[in-house]
A and B are shown apart, each in its own frame.
Chain A
Amino acid sequence: GAGVSQTPSNKVTEKGKYVELRCDPISGHTALYWYRQSLGQGPEFLIYFQGTGAADDSGLPNDRFFAVRPEGSVSTLKIQRTERGDSAVYLCASSALQGRELFFGEGSRLTVL
């Protein structure tokens, strides 16, 4: 499709496990964002990529969280030693170089048991 694609749509894991969430942005969009959203809350910024580099990673909560975008397109959010508090919907968004409108995917719902 033409929109932002996120996989998996749902992930259930056990506390302490490693998780990877994938985002495939809209073709040609150079900016990519990861947000985290808890039930009833607005999205919380995690990290912003411009091309391959992380322009702002100030929202990553701790060093268990890491994200990469090696070729400037697909991005992977990696969470090590998952904790129950990591349970949330992880949203990815992309935007064109000069554009400010963010196009969001449908999110990956992570549940840590």
Chain B
Amino acid sequence: GESVGLHLPTLSVQEGDNSIINCAYSNSASDYFIWYKQESGKGPQFIIDIRSNMDKRQGQRVTVLLNKTVKHLSLQIAATQPGDSAVYFCAEESNAGNNRKLIWGLGTSLAVNP
């Protein structure tokens, strides 16, 4: 079936280093991808999104890369800070009629060491 998954369940980095979190998807019909951050006990928080007609999108300290050839999505966080410690989810949405539901991956836990 169609699925979204993450390569690495956990990632530990030093404060100030760059972090890269990867995600694979298999639904070629998906046209919109989003990264969410979820801190313990809280709901997911939007970080950045990208449409399928783009390869790269940058935000503040974050960059999302989309490789449609290999169906791969990544989130890069520059100069990782302790406040970045959280679980990161990628999610995909397919433009199927009025269906606006997201399909989420399993999540990667990011731990930032001071």
Interface residues of A (CB under 8 A from B): 4, 31, 33, 40-45, 48, 50, 55-56, 58-59, 91, 93, 100-107
| Per-residue interface assignment for chain B, residues 77 to 105, with 1 indicating a CB less than 8 Å from any chain A CB and 0 otherwise | 00000000000010101000011111111
Report if B41 contacts A (CB, 8 A). yes
Neighbouring B residues of A59 by C-beta, 8 Å: 101
Residue of A nearest to B101 (CB): A45
Residue of B nearest to A47 (CB): B101
A19 to B4, CA, bound (A): 31
Whether the pair B98, A104 counts as a contact (CB closer than 8 A) is no
11 pairs from A and B in contact (CB 8 Å cutoff): A31-B100, A33-B100, A33-B101, A40-B106, A42-B4, A42-B104, A45-B103, A56-B98, A56-B99, A106-B43, A107-B43
A44 to B101, CA, bound (A): 9
Interface size class of B (residues with CB under 8 A): 20 to 34
Report if B45 contacts A (CB, 8 A). yes
A100 to B94, CA, bound (A): 12
* Least CB distance, A38 to chain B, in whole angstroms: 11
A93 to B102, CA, bound (A): 12
Neighbouring B residues of A43 by C-beta, 8 Å: 44, 89, 102, 104
A16 to B78, CA, bound (A): 49
Most chain A beta-carbon contacts within 10 A, residue among B41, B42, B98, B100: B100
